[in-house]
Amino acid sequence: MSEQIRVRFAPSPTGPFHIGGARSALFNWLLARKYSNGKFVLRVEDTDRVRSSKESEENIKASLKWLGLDWDEGVDVGGEYGPYHQMERLELYKKYAQQLVDEGKAYYCYCTEEEIAAEREALMKENKMPIYQGHCRHLTADQIEKYKSEGRKPTIRFRTPENETVEFDDMVRGHMQFDSNGVGDFVIVKADGIPVYNFAVVIDDALMNITHVIRAEEHLSNTPRQVVLYDALGFTVPVFAHISLILGKDHSKMSKRHGATSVEQYKNLGYLPEALVNFLALLGWAPQDEKEIFSIDELIKAFSMDHVAKNPAVFDIDKLNWLNAQYMKKLSTKKITMMAVPHLLEKGYLNEPIAADEMAKLVRFTEIIRDHLSYGAQFLDFADLYFNDDIVVEDAESKQILTDETVPSVIGLFKEKLNGIADFDAEHIQPIFKQITKELKVGGKKVYMPVRISVTGQMHGPDLAGIIEVLGRERVFDRIEKVLPAL
RNA sequence: GGCGCCUUCGUCAAGCGGUUAAGACACCGCCCUUUCACGGCGGGUUCAUGGGUUCGAAUCCCAUAGGCGUCACCA
């Protein structure tokens, strides 16, 4: 590919940035970055006046930046093909729509939405393709006058050529062919003068010299409409690549029911952008070797549209968790602590300002639990362990363990030994357990379990000596006393 | 319903006419360990079904089934 690669991501700002959109953006970005002269363009398709919002646009841009997907041209940064908001390009669409009308390739349609809906319904009933039947295709001047006098505002419809085969190439699916009779005359400009998606994309992609259009598979059926427009307008058709959808666990399209769907949600849950990017890249694309973990630079190097899968992919949160954990291992404990702090503040475990010594203890605690964490918010699963001294033993087996006849002597000796050490740290606490097993001649479990349960309320958890260290002698004794008041 | 896309372990997937059908996540077992987690080792009737083509098919062709998308004055 010696020509310049120009790709774009063109979201409509109608909601939080979806994970599927993020993958589309990533694939485009990866392709642009793979070639030294590649350009990644960000265009905002805000022609849906009802649903578009500035807030959504900001969310999308913030998410892209967080993921590290920077754009060379587009909104905010500008470029020679601007403007990059479709609502600022209305004149352009108007000009091309007029051109099509003048050439007889498009016409005004005075049908109302109700009439169209009724027509479609009737066709569906007859098992026919629900396409526009061409009522306004050849209106006389009189008819037009009549409609105008009724106050009808026309849309502009494209006069789709009949009995033709519409063809285009798709990097993922191969050569595609559609019957133009299945396309029908579709609206290109709404009654309010705003262009419809299929019309605006074509003009924008053509005028912005986009060479490759990588987008979700849901656009595949729309592509013939766009191809006939490219032809009518005399534009060069770009190379398409329709990547498959991302599905939820039940194989339906990802939605709120499946948990977090927006990039922002993953960010807030404490996932790392590198991990999310890595995961998204592996959804629908497979490397040539057996590598699983890719830095962004490695991804750019390894990525290729040749190995993009055709079939839809189920979003597997388990794998994301694993990947994220791999990336978290590389982080300093301090960093992981900082990831947890917002959650701790939100849940009321912490209050601002956080004192330096409190912070230091928190970091030490994080060091003890960090191996148990797949993402930041999971810290909350361990927060009670550290912050909540009101230990409650709920589990039946745990209660049972505390009734063992050796418990009183074990706990007694444990307290005695704990009192006896000079340096209150895990290194000095750890040997105590061994000493007790020896002196009392009981098994390790008989020692560890009563202590663990009375100190944490749980049978399982992170390193016990470490927990005891961060809690400090007083809190440990306090907890034991609450659980075993008799001792 | 028409049109279109898709179909290899539970999930992501390698595979492009001849392989013991990779690998990863998850799961199960074992080891490590006071426990859990981490880590290590090991395990699993995976080519939707039915027809072809071929000496030979997960790979090519055709049907069927299922899943999904799309048929908007949404993108």
Which residues 282-311 of A interface with strand B at a CB distance below 7 A? Answer: 282-286, 288, 290, 292, 306-307, 309-311
Same domain? A99 vs A238: yes
Burial of A463 (0-12, 13-18, 19+ CB in 10 A): middle
Burial of A165 (0-12, 13-18, 19+ CB in 10 A): exposed
Q: Which residues are A278's β-sheet partners?
A: none
Output phi, psi for A152, to 5 deg.
-75, 135
Q: What is the pLDDT of residue A124?
A: 81
The candidate with the shortest Cα–Cα distance to A181, out of A198, A163, A167, is: A163
Contact A41, A210 (CB under 8 A): yes
Q: What is the pLDDT of residue A125?
A: 80
Angstrom distance (rounded) from CA A450 to CA A125? 72
Q: What is the pLDDT of residue A245?
A: 93
Boundaries of domain holding A355? 331-387
Same domain? A291 vs A415: no
Which residues 442-471 of A interface with strand B at a CB distance below 7 A? Answer: 444-445, 448-449, 452, 459-465
A18 is in an annotated binding site: no
Catalytic residue among A256, A291, A347, A399: A256
Same domain? A307 vs A448: no
Q: What CATH number does residue A221 fall under?
A: 3.40.50.620
CA distances from A191 to A152, A194, A317 (A): 9, 7, 44
Same domain? A106 vs A184: yes
Same domain? A73 vs A101: no
DSSP A201-250: HHHHHHHTT--EEEEEGGGGGGHHHHHHHHHHHTPPP-EEEEEPPEE-TT
The candidate with the shortest Cα–Cα distance to A162, out of A65, A228, A244, is: A228
- If one counts the domains in chain A, the total is 4
Residue nearest to nucleotide B71 (CA to C1'): A130
Q: What is the pLDDT of residue A204?
A: 97
Segment holding A410, helix H or strand E: helix A407-420
Same domain? A298 vs A336: no
Q: What CATH number does residue A425 fall under?
A: 1.10.10.350
Q: What is the pLDDT of residue A67?
A: 97
Contacts of A416 (CB under 8 A, 6+ apart): none
Residue A325 domain-assigned (yes or no)? no
Q: What is the pLDDT of residue A211?
A: 96
Same domain? A74 vs A212: no
Residue A324 domain-assigned (yes or no)? no
Q: What is the pLDDT of residue A1?
A: 46
Same domain? A160 vs A208: yes
What is the 8-class DSSP label of residue A355?
Answer: P
Same domain? A104 vs A177: yes
pLDDT along chain A (487 residues), means of 10: 84 94 97 94 94 95 97 95 95 96 94 88 81 89 92 93 92 92 93 95 97 95 95 95 92 81 95 97 93 95 94 94 97 96 94 92 96 96 94 89 91 93 91 92 92 94 95 94 82
Angstrom distance (rounded) from CA A484 to CA A392? 11
Q: Which of A318, A341, A370 is the last residue of a domain?
A: A318
Q: Give the pTM.
A: 0.94
Q: What is the pLDDT of residue A44?
A: 97
Same domain? A232 vs A173: yes
Q: What is the pLDDT of residue A228?
A: 96
Angstrom distance (rounded) from CA A414 to CA A421? 11
Q: Which residues are A175's β-sheet partners?
A: A169
A111 is in an annotated binding site: yes
The candidate with the shortest Cα–Cα distance to A414, out of A390, A446, A375, A380, is: A446
Angstrom distance (rounded) from CA A324 to CA A270? 9
Rounded to whole angstroms, the distance from the CA of residue A171 to the C1' of nucleotide B53 is 28
Rounded to whole angstroms, the distance from the CA of residue A241 to the C1' of nucleotide B46 is 29
Q: Which nucleotide is at minimal CA–C1' distance from A46?
A: B75
Same domain? A286 vs A175: no
Q: What is the pLDDT of residue A6?
A: 97
Same domain? A111 vs A191: yes
Q: Which nucleotide is at minimal CA–C1' distance from A179?
A: B3
Q: Which residues are A41's β-sheet partners?
A: A8, A73
Q: What is the pLDDT of residue A86?
A: 96
Angstrom distance (rounded) from CA A335 to CA A340? 9
A256 is in an annotated binding site: yes
